[in-house]
Amino acid sequence: MGRAGYRTEPRLAPLLRDRLGTTWQGGWSRTVLLRRTAAGLLVLLAAALALSPRAGSTVDVPVVVAARDLAPGAALDLTAVQLQTLPDAVVPDGSAHSVDEVVGRLLAAPLRRGEPITDVRLAGAALARSVAADPDAVSVPVRLSDPDVAALLHPGATVDVVTLGERQDQ
């Protein structure tokens, strides 16, 4: 035995660390060859992982999105919406999947370009049910032309709107 428990004579069954140390002690060209081989194997592994199908891969579904920024109260037409495919995992609940579902409807809230159009963004029964607990609640769009009146309103405010039609009997 050598100093502090180290062996000085060679072992009959060398340890893994001894074998790896001997492998790396082959000179500069052998070290370069081993490094290039390891790099090549890592590149092959990366390519195999990149090309392999992922577990839980998603399916693309068609979703109606805003073609441009839209203001609340805007009537949706074919120029305001477009069909786009999105991964199923990112499609919000209540999204429209056909342009025919939304054409002619009125927006209850603003939309940014590319934002999916959902049932609660449109004026109608789904919006009324989501805001009020009453299943008979009705939501209708109101266009305010006076900005001072619009400033009086805030989210959650209860508003009763009474209006007359074009004829007196309405």
pTM passes above 0.75: no
At 31 the pLDDT is 77
Can you give the pLDDT at residue 75? 87
The pLDDT value recorded for residue 129 is: 63
* CA separation for the pair 73, 110 (Å, rounded): 8
Of 149, 96, 150, the residue nearest 122 (C-alpha): 96
Q: Residue 147 domain-assigned?
A: no
Q: Name the amino acid, one letter, at 118.
A: T
Low-confidence ranges of the chain (pLDDT < 50): 170
CA 135, distance to chain mean position in Å, is: 31
User: Alpha helices of 63-146 — where are they, by DSSP H?
Assistant: 125-131
The pLDDT tens digits of the residues spanning 59-79 come to 889 999 999 999 888 889 999
Q: What is the per-residue pLDDT for 53?
A: 72
Q: How far apart are the first and last CA of the chain?
A: 111
Query: In this predicted structure, what is the pLDDT of residue 56?
Result: 62
CATH number at residue 100: 3.90.1210.10
At 33 the pLDDT is 84
Is 34 within a domain?
yes
What is d(CA 105, CA 18) in angstroms, rounded to the nearest whole number? 77
Asked whether residue 71 falls in the same domain as residue 125, the answer is yes
Domains in the chain, number: 2
Q: Is the same domain home to 71 and 133? A: yes
State which residues form the domain around 102: 60-142
pLDDT value of residue 169: 53
